[in-house]
Amino acid sequence: MSFRMPNSNSKLHSIHRGAQEAGRQELVSRSLQSAQHCLEDQDFGTAYAHYLLVLNLAPELKPSVKETFRFTLFKWAEDLDSLSRIQDLFNCYEQALELYPNDEVICNSMGEHLFRMGFRDEAAGYFHKAVKLNPDFADAKENFYRVANWLVERWHFIMLNDAKRNLTYLKAIENAVRSGCKSVLDIGTGTGILGMFAKKAGARYVYACELSKTMYELARDVVSANNMEREIKLLHLKSLDIEIPKHIPERVSLVVTETVDAGLFGEGIVESLIHAWEHLLLQPKPENQGVSSGDYGRVIPASATIFGMAVECKEIRRHHRVGNQEVAGVHLPDSVQFCSPTYDSAGSEETVEPYTTEKLSRIPGGYVPLTEACQVMTVDFNNLQELKSLAARKPWKLSLPVTEGGILDAIVVWFVLQLDDEHALSTSPSEETCWEQAVYPVQGLLAAMGKVLLSLNPSKDSQSMDVDGHGSGMNLQESQNKSSLHVAPDPLYVLDVSEGFSILPIIAGKLGPVRAYSSIEKEQHQAALNLISEANHFPKETLEFWLSHLEDENVVLQRPKSDKLWSIIILDVIETSGLIQQEVMEKAAISRCLLHSGGKIFPQYVLVYGMLVESESLLLESAVQGTEPTLGFNIAPFINQFKVPVRVYLDLSTLPCLPLSKPAELLRLDLMNPLLNSSSREVKVQICKSGKVTAIPFWYHIHLDEDLSLDTSDEFSHWKQAAVVLDKPIQVQVGDELVLDVQHHKSNISITVKQ
């Protein structure tokens, strides 16, 4: 009996397990069927819940239901987003990533939701992971490149490649440590380079803080790769939030920082140093006291001197003023005041820096100094009282003697950063430096038209408009027109969905009977457009604001009336940065469905042009070039993860480069006839000068029709250019032929050299 009992139990367990398995399979089968029914009924939330149950009960089904699960997740996420159930949305993604931790499509979609909600750091992490999981996943690559520009600003590369700047900081830090500073705090550490300089110089204790999550994690990797993870304590904190002894055990004897921008104060150096002197640094050394520095606190940089100069510069003027009283036949009344983007007008919801930045040595057309360079002010970073009085200081007057007659366009500002008594860095326009200068446009006739005003030829356009029976293209209607000469023609329905502030609807209204619809959103922009419309004696019904007719902005591309389609739809195709607008081909596809017979999209097609160049500048601005500029520290492989293959906002007319080929047509994007488009193309390019191909700048010819076009590389264009920077330069000789593989995906153009 005792021998049979285990067998009996075993059989019972086996029967029980079999019943459990059958029950599990039955539940899985029923849940799959229910999920399918829910999908058919578009009940995505319930379908998602069924799939969660299935995948938890039957993990072996993960591969077979992955596609349908993704579809259900994305649809349910859209519903949750529209209901503003944000926490539920992210919970769903977290559940999905627990089931499919290495699914690049889910990672990318999670990143897109995070980015739309302003969580750029977190979004970057998901985009980065998606690209690592699948380096050929185009959507994730494009998303990562766009967010990388926000997270790791391009100046990091230029500064890390500036060996002179790095060496000057290293020597100043070595001097301070030799003179007794043994504990160091690096504020705004970035990649961690200044903290590593302090450790190399012999500092006993080194702390470094960084607010950006992305840069903090990058610094952690860099410090570890340089075998200093036990030597440097990294804090993911703003320096204003550091407490003693919670974060660091005691006050430090040296603060090093480079939290300065082109205008010196834009990154909050004054506020952070006031806090540091009050809470984190030892007391400053009294004057004329010959004791060791180690018993006292100090800051690198020690001080700064700011210089200013008034200049005349056409390039600055055209970006910050509207000088024309008339544009394409449209009168701009004095009652409409255009303001530069740097001018923070009263009541504005947006906080804008009062200056922009330019590298004056490379500004198109150059500049003319109207005054001598004048010392504006000095600031002692080792004097707490001076820092406090500076923070509370009111504006003061400064006289600049004029040395040259001309038009005052801007005050240009730069500074000399005195690191210590021996070492200084200058950001002067006459210096060969990685720095740009701060440009304060002079307010007066200020302007920042969001768009270039397309120069349409009214007489030509009114003749060639092949729409609604107007013009020579509709022979079918000639007999009807002859028999009804006295009947007023139907108006053309024109929809302008350009970005920013556009007067194109009013220009269109000058061409004949037109009902123009503008997609301008901001109330002050609508008011300005109405004033311009009235000044040009347009009947009120000529211009309408299309978004005010819509409850949902996503349906902006819709017909104006149930029985009417659009005659003309004006799209913005190219960003000012030199990139193709996101989703422009999708907008064009919708637009084609909403055009009247014979209607047109403006522009009708775009040709992409490019050429091969040798440019050391583009290399230095795009990636850290090995360990030499960073004085032997291994930083390049980590920050170069955030390099982007395309540099934007370039000006080819002043870019230091050597053209190695003639311009070549790379791609055609046809908005009216999609059959003429291809997402990839091979282009043969002849080398006309020997050298080293480092980049491929590209620009566009925007064809409104077969005869009228705009060249975005034109010196008077508001558009800048972009360039693909090669990972590895290619040596070429005159007469060589390179084959370029040109790919277009959404708004992203990739160009690779086939060898």
**488 — pLDDT class (breaks 50, 70, 90):** low
Q: Which residue has the higher pLDDT, 596 or 164?
A: 164
Nearest Cα neighbor of 408 from 306, 308, 315, 317 is 317
Q: Which residue has the higher pLDDT, 147 or 308?
A: 308
Q: Between vectors from CA 190 to CA 115 and to CA 121, what angle results, nearest 5°? A: 10
| CATH number at 160-285+293-320+356-441 | 3.40.50.150
Reduced to 3 states (helix: H, G, I; strand: E, B; else coil), residue 9 is helix
**If 0-12 CB within 10 Å is exposed, 13-18 middle and 19+ buried, where does residue 119 land?**
middle
Evaluate if residue 119 carries a pLDDT over 80.
Answer: yes
Give residue 77's pLDDT.
92
Kindly state the tokens that stand for 671: 């908005």
Concatenating the DSSP letter of every residue in 234-258 gives EE-S-GGG--TTTTSSS-BSEEEE-
Of 56-70, 252-266, 299-313, 516-530, least confident by mean pLDDT is: 516-530
Give residue 359's pLDDT.
92
Kindly state the tokens that stand for 251: 């006050």
Interatomic CA distance for residues 414 and 417, integer angstroms:
10
Evaluate if residue 445 carries a pLDDT over 70.
Answer: no
Give residue 292's pLDDT.
55
CA-based R_g, the chain, Å:
32
**484 — pLDDT class (breaks 50, 70, 90):** very low
Of 78-92, 468-482, 583-597, 702-716, least confident by mean pLDDT is: 468-482
Identify the top-confidence range among 156-160, 181-185, 645-649: 181-185
The model's pLDDT over 392-410, given as tens digits with 9 standing for 90+, comes to 888 778 888 889 989 999 9
Nearest Cα neighbor of 514 from 536, 495, 499, 497 is 495
The model's pLDDT over 693-726, given as tens digits with 9 standing for 90+, comes to 999 999 999 999 888 999 999 988 889 999 999 9
Evaluate if residue 347 carries a pLDDT over 50.
Answer: no
Of 47-61, 447-461, 620-634, 658-672, least confident by mean pLDDT is: 447-461
**11 — pLDDT class (breaks 50, 70, 90):** low
The model's pLDDT over 212-238, given as tens digits with 9 standing for 90+, comes to 888 999 999 999 999 999 999 999 999
The model's pLDDT over 534-551, given as tens digits with 9 standing for 90+, comes to 888 888 777 888 765 544
Question: Bridge partners of 566?
Answer: 595
Write down the mean pLDDT value for the chain.
84
Give residue 344's pLDDT.
53
Evaluate if residue 444 carries a pLDDT over 50.
Answer: no
Give residue 258's pLDDT.
94
The dihedral over CA atoms of 400, 401, 407, 413, expressed in degrees to the nearest 10, equals -30
Checking phi first, is residue 112 left (phi over 0); if not, alpha (psi -120 to 50) or beta? alpha
Interatomic CA distance for residues 338 and 442, integer angstroms:
13
Q: Which residue has the higher pLDDT, 457 or 130?
A: 130
Quote the pTM value: 0.80
Terminal alpha carbon distance of the chain: 81
Domain 605-754 in this protein, CATH class: mainly beta
* Residues 302, 382 contacting (CB under 8 angstroms): yes
* 20-154: in CATH 3.40.50.150: no
Kindly state the tokens that stand for 454: 């397309």
DSSP, res 561: S
Cα 259 to Cα 67, 193, 270, 442, 750, distances in angstroms: 47, 13, 9, 27, 34
**14 — pLDDT class (breaks 50, 70, 90):** low
Evaluate if residue 474 carries a pLDDT over 60.
Answer: no
The model's pLDDT over 15-37, given as tens digits with 9 standing for 90+, comes to 556 667 777 788 888 999 999 99
